[in-house]
Amino acid sequence: MIASFSFAQVTTSTSPNIIFFVVDDLGYYDLECYGSNFYETPNIDQLATDGIRFTNGYEAAPRCAASRTSIMTGKFESRPSVSGGMYLPADNNPDGYSETTFAQALNNEGYKTFFIGKWHLGHDANHYPDSFGFDINIAGSDFGAPPTYWYPYSSGGDTLPDLSTGGTAGEYLTDRITDETNAFIDNHIATNPTQPFLAMVSHYGVHTPLEAKTADVSYFQNIADNDGYTGPEFENDLTAKTKLHQDNATYAAMIKSIDESLGALRANLVAKGIANNTVIILTSDNGGLSTTEIGGNRELPTSNRPLRGGKTWLYEGGIKLPLIVYGPDYKTGIVEDEPVVGTDFFPTMLEMAGVPLLPNQHLDGESFESLLLATGGNPNYSRTNPIIWDFNFASAGTANVSMAGVRQGDYKLLEFKYNNVFELYNVVTDPGETTDISAANPTLTEQLKNALFSYRSNAGVTHRVTNSGHIAENEYLYNNMNSMTGSNIQPSFGCAEPSGANHIIYNNGHECWYDLDWPINVADGSEASLAIADPIDVRTGDIALKVDVVNGGGYGKVRVTNTRYYDNFNGGDITLSVHAKSNSNNRIRFQLKVFYTNGTNQTFNGDPYTTSGTYSQYSHTFNTSEITSMDTESIEVRLQLGRDNGEIFLDDWSSEVTGITLSTTMVDENIVSVYPNPTSDYINIAGPLVVTKAYIFDITGKLVKKSIGDVERINISKLPTGTYFLKAFVEGKQYFTKKIMIK
């Protein structure tokens, strides 16, 4: 009998081995080759010399479990399908969530897959690495940090799995992980020399507890004692006390052991004759631990300065990390400035292996292998889509507050959710994020805000912080800062309160408090009733709408209608989307009413959809060739619900305009004067910019007055007393709004 064996599609003659070397909590400046004058990392520095060192390598989240989820799945961790952990098909998640990791994708194509070290992504054995595509798992469990770095790795009743036997007294965890990895490589090459392998070496170092070899600690303590630093040890930065200087000898010794681990692995690759067919990717999961609450006494191992923040922060110090890639077909000695992010590892490794991409899985990942190739690549590669962070987690331990961010090109926008503040930085010329340039760049600021809000709406991510624990931590941190520093930052949601039971109010087109993206109003009547849905019927966030159709029979009998949006949509495609469910398979349909500047209007119907008992996303694109052959004054979006009787639930309504640039808000609205205000007969508009058209709305959003042309004065004498809003467009595709009081 002759037995034959095959390994799917890949062999070592065409597909490289891949070592994914992940260091826990290693900051951008924690390596010599990235600028540290204290830590010593000769082996990692040599890898950078032999390969490609990225200066804008990011993780998709600033905290270990969140960033590792993004790495494994190719999805930003804020997406609902992964924000609660990674699901398996066997979990039978009610929303159908399940993930294929990059390890499973490579394993399916014939790779032998090996994992060792920190996993921290599953809280039971059914969700450890061997359930997500790794043939071998050593020590990967729910541990976020080891009980101790000393064999048998047991302390306080906790014992690290798989490694508590087979060692010797005095054995150090980083060394044991290295030895086990080399043993896997030795055995694999001996038994399956033609089968490529993936080894994810996920070190627990340099995460706390701070423990290292005595001789190494003494060596670095001597350096620290004689470095001549005379500056301050800490400074306050927003809600945090931040460490300013690298001088922790134990942490330096832990980094030395990590560096020696890489050196030992590379030496073994040479010894086994496979160094020229092995790719090495070295990175971290988040920035170095360098902050705690103002007045706190937590030991801080490192400093990320001149970057702001550290672990759990969306400042550069929390998400900008070391990234070095080495491979036989790749460039050598190159410093690469193009931004990439942790979700990109998934498709990049698939392309390295020469196996098919899985775009429906790695939704937020883009392969950057073309940047690496010595020949045949694309040196001008850049990500198609912006990098998005949405991180509501707030913690007094690191003093970070709930934030979101967008990086595109040289620029990065930060959102501070507690007080609804947005800041813009050029992180190429200002990597320390010292100068907010949002006021000088209104169009770019609005563009990045739109990217952030569009991502959250399309992904079904709530725009506000809804977790009560995170809300409480934000309040504590800001109040602590105000008390300790004399500042006075107070919460602000940046949006209006609902004006009535049947109205949902928004601010500047961006969602503030509620879960819909357009200003929506629904009038109760004999055909249907409107209510806020019970919590069990909310898809994301706190709010969903329940429309109970009691007298249906035609789509148009009941509809949800937005307040008309005034701008020129000529040349744009308009995509509308909503997540909906119903108890009676109700049918719904989008409708768009377009008002043209010549005084005519036209109504367009979308395709009908039949809803089900679980939330699904329904969307329709109204193409420019269909709707905008002329300049428009405004559009009105409608969702028609009246075809069938029964309850319909709506959540996460969104809209997107592509192909054109809409008008943006003026940053300095004070350069335009609107007077007198309050008034009774007229208002004057004066300033250096020409007002091309002006609209006045009542508090329900109804247009009550408009003026087109070179507008300098508007007669409002026939309007009743009350509160109104002026929206005026000026040259350069900008507009401003003012509240008008008529007495």
Report the distance separating Cα 73 and Cα 67, nearest Å.
10
**Whether residues 668 and 653 fall in one domain:** no
Q: Which of 485, 511, 546 is the last residue before a domain boundary? A: 485
Residue 78 in domain: yes
Contacts of 110 (CB under 8 A, 6+ apart): 7, 8, 9, 10, 11, 15, 195, 196
Tokens of 297: 């006494």
**Whether residues 185 and 296 fall in one domain:** yes
Residue 10 in domain: no
**What value does the mean pLDDT of the chain take?**
89
> Is 38's pLDDT higher than 80?
yes
Torsion from C-alpha of 432, 434, 440, 446, nearest 10 degrees: 60
> Is 517's pLDDT higher than 90?
no
What is the residue whose two structure tokens read 């050029």?
Answer: 426
Confidence of residue 77 (pLDDT cuts 50, 70, 90): very high
Q: Which helix (H) or strand (E) holds 323?
A: strand 320-326
**Whether residues 399 and 424 fall in one domain:** yes
> Is 496's pLDDT higher than 50?
no
What pLDDT score does 193 carry?
A: 95
Greater confidence, 303 or 736? 303
**Whether residues 686 and 733 fall in one domain:** yes
Residue 3 in domain: no
Q: What is the CA radius of gyration of the chain?
A: 29
DSSP letter at 662?
-
Q: How confident is the model over 342-359, as pLDDT tens digits? A: 999 999 999 999 999 999
Report the distance separating Cα 317 and Cα 307, nearest Å.
5
Residue 2 in domain: no
What is the residue whose two structure tokens read 């990439």?
Answer: 340
**Whether residues 654 and 733 fall in one domain:** no
**Whether residues 33 and 124 fall in one domain:** yes
**Whether residues 372 and 414 fall in one domain:** no
What CATH number does the domain containing 366 carry? 3.40.720.10
Q: How confident is the model over 357-401, as pLDDT tens digits? A: 999 999 999 999 999 999 999 999 999 999 999 999 999 999 999
Tokens of 328: 């036989």
Tokens of 695: 């609209």
Confidence of residue 535 (pLDDT cuts 50, 70, 90): confident
Q: At 627, phi and psi to the nearest 5?
A: -115, -25
| CB-based contact 185:272 (threshold 8 Å) | yes
**Residue 738 pairs with which residues in a beta bridge?**
726
Torsion from C-alpha of 626, 628, 634, 636, nearest 10 degrees: 10
Report the distance separating Cα 335 and Cα 401, nearest Å.
33
Polymer length of the chain: 743
Greater confidence, 191 or 641? 191
**Whether residues 60 and 111 fall in one domain:** yes
Residue 63 in domain: yes
DSSP letter at 506?
-
Averaged pLDDT for residues 601-616: 94
Greater confidence, 320 or 517? 320
What CATH number does the domain containing 561 carry? 2.60.120.260
What pLDDT score does 725 carry?
A: 80
Residue 4 in domain: no
Residue 214 in domain: yes
Confidence of residue 69 (pLDDT cuts 50, 70, 90): very high
What pLDDT score does 494 carry?
A: 53
Q: Quick one: three-class SS letters along 565-627?
A: EECCCCCCEEEEEEEEEECCCCEEEEEEEEEECCCCEEEEEEEEEECCCCCEEEEEEECHHHH
Q: Which string of DSSP letters, residue by residue, matches 214-230?
A: HHHHHHHHHHHHTS---
What CATH number does the domain containing 721 carry? 2.60.40.3080
Q: How confident is the model over 272-289, as pLDDT tens digits? A: 999 999 999 999 999 999
**% of the chain at pLDDT higher than 70:** 92
What CATH number does the domain containing 447 carry? 3.30.1120.10
**Whether residues 722 and 699 fall in one domain:** yes
- DSSP E strands, 430-584: 503-504, 520-521, 528-532, 545-549, 559-562, 565-566, 573-582
What pLDDT score does 395 carry?
A: 96
Q: How confident is the model over 414-456, as pLDDT tens digits? A: 999 998 899 999 999 999 999 999 999 989 998 898 889 878 8
**Whether residues 426 and 479 fall in one domain:** yes
Domain count, the chain: 4
Output the pTM of the full model: 0.73
Give the domain range for residue 709: 664-742
| CB-based contact 267:280 (threshold 8 Å) | no
Helices 42-50 and 249-271 cross at an angle (nearest 10°) of 50
Report the distance separating Cα 279 and Cα 330, nearest Å.
9
Q: How confident is the model over 16-28, as pLDDT tens digits? A: 999 999 999 999 9
Contacts of 191 (CB under 8 A, 6+ apart): none
Report the distance separating Cα 382 and Cα 78, nearest Å.
23
| CB-based contact 368:348 (threshold 8 Å) | yes
Greater confidence, 123 or 473? 473
**Whether residues 256 and 133 fall in one domain:** yes
Residue 233 in domain: yes
Q: Which of 353, 385, 417 is the last residue before a domain boundary? A: 385
Q: Which of 597, 625, 658 is the last residue before a domain boundary? A: 658
DSSP letter at 400?
B
What pLDDT score does 665 carry?
A: 67
What pLDDT score does 526 carry?
A: 59
**Whether residues 430 and 539 fall in one domain:** no
Angle among Cα 85, 86, 90 to the nearest 5 degrees reads: 125
Q: What helix, strand, coil percent values describe the chain, rounded to 5?
A: 25, 30, 50
What pLDDT score does 549 carry?
A: 87
Report the distance separating Cα 357 and Cα 348, nearest Å.
9
Greater confidence, 593 or 732? 593
User: Please, what sign has the CA dihedral across residues 644, 645, 651, 654?
Assistant: positive
Q: How confident is the model over 178-212, as pLDDT tens digits? A: 999 999 999 999 999 999 999 999 999 999 999 99
User: Please, what sign has the CA dihedral across residues 694, 695, 699, 704?
Assistant: positive
| CB-based contact 240:400 (threshold 8 Å) | yes
| Closest to 243 in 3D by CA, of 254, 228, 233 | 233
Cα–chain-centroid distance for residue 124?
26
> Is 2's pLDDT higher than 60?
no
